[in-house]
Amino acid sequence: MNTNSNTYIFIYASVMVIIVAAVLSTAATLLKDKQLQNVKNEKMQAILASANIESTPETAETIYNQFITEEWVINKSGELTDLYKNGSFEKGSLRAFDLNMKTELYKKSKGEDFSSPLFLCQVDGNTYYIIPLLGKGLWGPIWGNIALQSDFKTIKGVVFDHKGETPGLGAEIVFPAFTNPFIGKTIFNDEGQFTSVMVVKGGVAKLAEDQQIHGVDAISGGTITSVGVNDMIKNCLENYVPYIKSNR
């Protein structure tokens, strides 16, 4: 066959495309399990970090199994529907870890029944309740975890992350300068009313003195991301209020 003919070129190009596609498909298949494990490890690390528990991608699963002793799924009425403990189900058949937050929050936005994940963490005799968060920032999704102390009211710690917030502005949500002020804040007032924790533009000093325990300073120059974090926290935490009020 004439190597300069259009037919030869077409056949050669087609064969090369098929070979490259086969190689890429094989590589994707071989790497799929590792990629899924990496996502799982990253999620475990973030859950642990909200309770100030350090881990690495290599140790995440071992440390998670050590400190996260129970996974609960709560329905919109505040009822425990699924309980995963010590590697097996004591109630239901859905792990909180596997619950799709995006799907459940979408159901909520449509007024449908939805479920929320809750993680029980035991550290040195102390109990913390870890709640996953998901919301919208300026350029894309933002997410995180918030750990509450055993009173189901006081914040032990938080972690946030984002897909594409602006460096030096909204992207600052990942740093201790923004997350540390959440520690010790409360999401209920003394009368037991849900307040969430507000991200306040201009700083918590603008709030009444008795309200400052429910607020943190917004990011200077990152107003839209700060509003997104504020709305995310409120939208996610309020899902647990029925359960908290019936079990405190």
Rounded-to-integer distance, Cα 145 and Cα 158, Å? 6
| Location of structure tokens 């990496």 | 38
- Residue pLDDT, tens place only, 79-134: 999 999 988 999 999 999 999 999 999 999 999 999 999 999 999 999 999 999 99
Q: Which of 168, 155, 47 is nearest to 101 (CA)?
A: 47
pLDDT exceeds 70 at position 4: no
> In this predicted structure, which of 26-35, 142-151, 168-177 has the lowest mean pLDDT?
26-35
Distant-in-sequence contacts of 127-132, Cβ < 8 A, 24+ apart: 128/51, 128/156, 130/47, 130/50, 130/51, 130/68, 131/236, 131/237, 131/240, 132/47, 132/101, 132/236
Predicted TM-score (pTM) of the model is: 0.86
List the one residue out of 103, 119, 121, 133 whose CA is nearest residue 197.
133
Give me the pLDDT at residue 247, please.
Answer: 83
State residue 23's pLDDT score. 65
**pLDDT at residue 36, rounded to an integer:** 83
Sequence-ordered strand ranges (E) for the chain: 68-75, 80-85, 88-91, 115-123, 126-136, 141-148, 155-162, 198-200, 215-217
d(CA 33, CA 41): 12
Q: What is the DSSP string of 133-160?
A: EEEE-SSSEEEEEEEE-TTSSBEEEEEE
- Count the helix, strand and coil residues of the chain and give each as a percent rounded to the nearest 5: 45, 25, 30
More confident residue, 46 or 86: 46
Domain borders along the chain are: 69-247
For β-strands 215-217 and 198-200, DSSP reports them as parallel
Residue 36 CA, chain-centre distance (Å), reads 16
Chain segment 166-201, per-residue pLDDT in tens: 999 999 999 999 999 999 999 999 999 999 999 999
